[in-house]
């Protein structure tokens, strides 16, 4: 059975059993009808995914893997902050009339800095270091730029990546300040797993471990029945994942270069209420 499913079940059961409820507190998020969107949360959740063991897509409900990859390429490859460069509508709520989400996500990764080895942006710095100084302990990105927060449509949730090479394995830590477990957990796990696969391939390494650190892992009140139903579903083996082996430049990858096989999964959960 999928280890990603088991980690998800354990995390959700912990939140539901021992989590802290925001009921009675003033909360920012609202449902579409204006009702406060309360949560049950756990602080400091850490999940580890060995990408040599499996590709961590949930089978409890399907993850739209290619859409998730399209978003991560929008941020890390296109370095775009305009939803017109994205093939889904997941960012529409936070965009202005021009399609911009402000100085957030891809914008931050595209800003150039003066590094000891030259002027480049954060993504190119990671790629340079993986090729030239792979055992450095300084291979990281951070898009939580306090100077630009007031000009962001949404402050970054997944805000930093730290890369670390052990032998020939590329590992990474994904830091996330906040996560809506039902709608976003496996979406983020899948897309950053694919990113790790891509960076490993173009750097002559193999993908190792993705460590996902979530400061505030929460389940919204109206999601609790959906989560409980998910946890009772059957679990299946993880799907098989591969990349087009001919791609050697990160900027050449497209969603068509990923291949997913044997993805046996439960039905999708439809009409999930989303808090804004």
Integer Cα distance of 207 and 196 in angstroms: 6
Question: Is residue 165 classed as helix, strand or coil in its secondary structure?
Answer: strand
Q: Which whole number is the average pLDDT over 253-262? A: 98
Q: Which whole number is the average pLDDT over 217-221? A: 98
Q: Which of 120, 157, 184, 211 is catalytic?
A: 157
pLDDT of residue 178: 98
Tokens of 77: 């490859």
pLDDT of residue 1: 86
The dihedral over CA atoms of 227, 228, 229, 233, expressed in degrees to the nearest 10, equals: 90
Integer Cα distance of 37 and 24 in angstroms: 11
CATH topology of domain 3-261: Thymidylate Synthase; Chain A (3.30.572)
pLDDT (tens digit per residue) in 181-211: 999 999 999 999 999 999 999 999 999 999 9
Q: Is 157 a catalytic residue?
A: yes
Integer Cα distance of 91 and 205 in angstroms: 33
User: Could you tell me the maximum CA-CA distance found in the chain, to the nearest angstrom?
Assistant: 55
130, 170 in Cβ contact below 8 A? Answer: yes
Q: How confident is the model at residue 12 (pLDDT cuts 50, 70, 90)?
A: very high
Is the per-residue pLDDT at 42 higher than 90?
yes
Q: Which whole number is the average pLDDT over 90-119? A: 96
pLDDT of residue 212: 98
The chain-wide mean pLDDT, for the chain, equals 97
Integer Cα distance of 228 and 224 in angstroms: 6
Nearest alpha carbon to residue 142 among 113, 182, 183: 113
Question: Is residue 18 classed as helix, strand or coil in its secondary structure?
Answer: helix
The sign of the dihedral angle between the CA atoms of 185, 186, 191, 194 is: positive
Binding residues: 137-138, 177-180, 188, 218-220, 275
pLDDT of residue 109: 98
Is the per-residue pLDDT at 166 higher than 90?
yes
Question: What predicted TM-score, i.e. pTM, was given to this entire model?
Answer: 0.97
Tokens of 29: 């998020």
The burial of 138, by beta-carbon neighbours within 10 Å (0-12 exposed, 13-18 middle, 19 or more buried), is given as: exposed
Question: Quick one: which H or E segment has residue 158?
Answer: strand 158-166
Q: Phi and psi (nearest 5°) for 255?
A: -65, -20
Integer Cα distance of 43 and 94 in angstroms: 26
Domain boundaries, the chain: 3-261
Question: Residue 166 contacts by C-beta under 8 Å, 6 or more apart in sequence?
Answer: 208
Long-range contacts formed by 239-247: CB under 8 A, 24+ apart: 239/55, 239/57, 239/59, 239/263, 239/264, 240/55, 241/55, 241/57, 241/194, 241/197, 243/197, 243/198, 243/201, 245/201, 247/198, 247/201, 247/202
Binding residues for dUMP: 137-138, 177-180, 188, 218-220
pLDDT of residue 114: 98
Q: Which whole number is the average pLDDT over 149-165? A: 97
Is the per-residue pLDDT at 276 higher than 90?
no
Q: Which whole number is the average pLDDT over 27-40? A: 96
Q: How far is CA 170 from the centre of its chain?
A: 17
Q: How confident is the model at residue 55 (pLDDT cuts 50, 70, 90)?
A: very high
Pairing outcome for strands 240-243 and 206-220:
unpaired
């Amino acid at each position: 059975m999928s280890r990603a499913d088991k980690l998800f079940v354990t995390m959700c059961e912990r939140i539901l059993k021992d989590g802290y409820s925001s009921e009675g507190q003033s909360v920012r998020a609202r449902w579409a009808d204006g009702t406060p969107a309360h949560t049950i949360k756990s602080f400091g959740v850490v999940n580890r995914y060995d990408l040599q063991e499996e590709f961590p897509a949930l089978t409890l409900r399907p993850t739209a893997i290619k859409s998730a990859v399209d978003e991560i390429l929008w941020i890390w490859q296109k370095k775009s902050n305009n939803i017109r460069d994205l093939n889904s509508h997941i960012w529409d709520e936070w965009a202005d009339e021009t399609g911009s989400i402000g100085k957030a996500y891809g914008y931050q990764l595209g800003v150039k800095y003066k590094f000891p080895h030259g002027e480049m942006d954060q993504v190119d710095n990671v790629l340079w270091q993986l090729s030239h100084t792979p055992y450095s302990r300084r291979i990281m990105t951070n898009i939580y730029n306090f100077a630009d927060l007031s000009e962001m449509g949404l402050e970054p949730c997944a805000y930093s990546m730290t890369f670390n090479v052990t032998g020939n394995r590329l590992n990474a830590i994904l830091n996330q300040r906040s996560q809506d477990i039902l709608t976003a957990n496996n979406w983020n796990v899948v897309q950053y797993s694919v990113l790790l696969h891509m960076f490993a391939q173009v750097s002559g390494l193999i993908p190792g471990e993705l460590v996902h650190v979530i400061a505030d892992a929460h389940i919204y009140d109206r999601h609790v029945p959906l989560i409980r139903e998910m946890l009772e579903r059957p679990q299946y083996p993880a799907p098989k994942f591969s990349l087009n082996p001919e791609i050697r430049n990160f900027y050449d990858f497209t969603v068509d270069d990923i291949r997913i096989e044997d993805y046996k999964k439960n039905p999708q959960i439809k009409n999930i209420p989303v808090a804004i």
